[in-house]
Structure 1
């Protein structure tokens, strides 16, 4: 059995982000905060496991409705890359479920919502730098001094958020 190689994405290194991309990323941050708030509220009344089940169940229904409304449900060629995703790509659901459970627990702890999100941002940036370094997403890029200084500032800000509560 031969293993399929994922086609490399089109090189966009050096291109400035488009305004719509910046707005989408900012909206994602807001939606992530709202998701964490709703999931942790559900977990406070039930359990983190049930909160994850509800979040993913509602998300599945919402995604299915959106796909049907957009008319792309299982249509050949609907994917931008074509072909089949590698099996490991389906593990995103596992990490999503774990994320919901763990953030639901920590947002209801002394970290609160802000500390949970700040530490989550640190984890995202660290893993993104590792992925970039090893070319996991198809583009290999060594972390620059600015990347590492930015990470240091994010960590410093996170520590201020967590430990400067009066």
Structure 2
């Protein structure tokens, strides 16, 4: 993102993204608690079952009268349906690692590092239909800071009160 694009962005987008990070932390914690009392597969099934019920209720509330006016959308590429598999794997893996010595902060730190590394790679090689973009010095600096911060959290973050 260029500096002029960042400065002209809507502040609500930044607030929403920050809030989403907080919700992600709660989700990982709750799924870890479910895995602690059951197992990681139970946590994944519960999370996705709850999400399915919530989605059905929201669809019934918001799209009750609009079903007949619907325009047929073009089909999504087949790889787009893999989001469900990666979501289930994410819940299973984070539910397992949050109950390990990594704890919540280590799990989220490594997850963030993995997201940044993968997103830089996706930009570089144009994965999933993204435009190809070479990482610049700022991208690499941000990547280094995220990885360094993750290492600090994991290596020196234990032993708190």
Task: Tell me the TM-score normalized by structure 2.
Answer: 0.87
User: In the alignment, does 2:35 pair up with 1:39?
Assistant: no
Aligned ranges 1:39-78 → 2 under 5 Å: 39-71=31-63, 76-77=70-71
Give 1:98 deviation, angstroms: 0.4
The residue number in structure 2 matching 1:147 is: 139
Pick from 20, 44, 54: which aligns with 2:12? Answer: 20
The residue number in structure 2 matching 1:156 is: 148
5+ residue gaps, structure 1: 1-11
Whether the 8 Å CA contact 1:67–1:73 is kept in 2: the answer is: no
**Runs of 4+ with >4 A deviation:** 72-75
- The CA deviation string for residues 111-142 of structure 1, in whole angstroms up to 9 with x for no partner, is 00000000000000011111111223432211
User: In the alignment, does 2:100 pair up with 1:109?
Assistant: yes
Give 1:15 deviation, angstroms: 2.4
Tell me the secondary structure at the aligned position of residue 15 of structure 1.
Answer: helix
Task: Tell me the TM-score normalized by structure 1.
Answer: 0.84
For 2:69 and 2:28, the matched residues in 1 are separated by: 32
Aligned residues: 152
5+ residue gaps, structure 2: none
Whether the 8 Å CA contact 2:124–2:132 is kept in 1: the answer is: yes
Q: Quick check: which one's helix share is greater?
A: 2
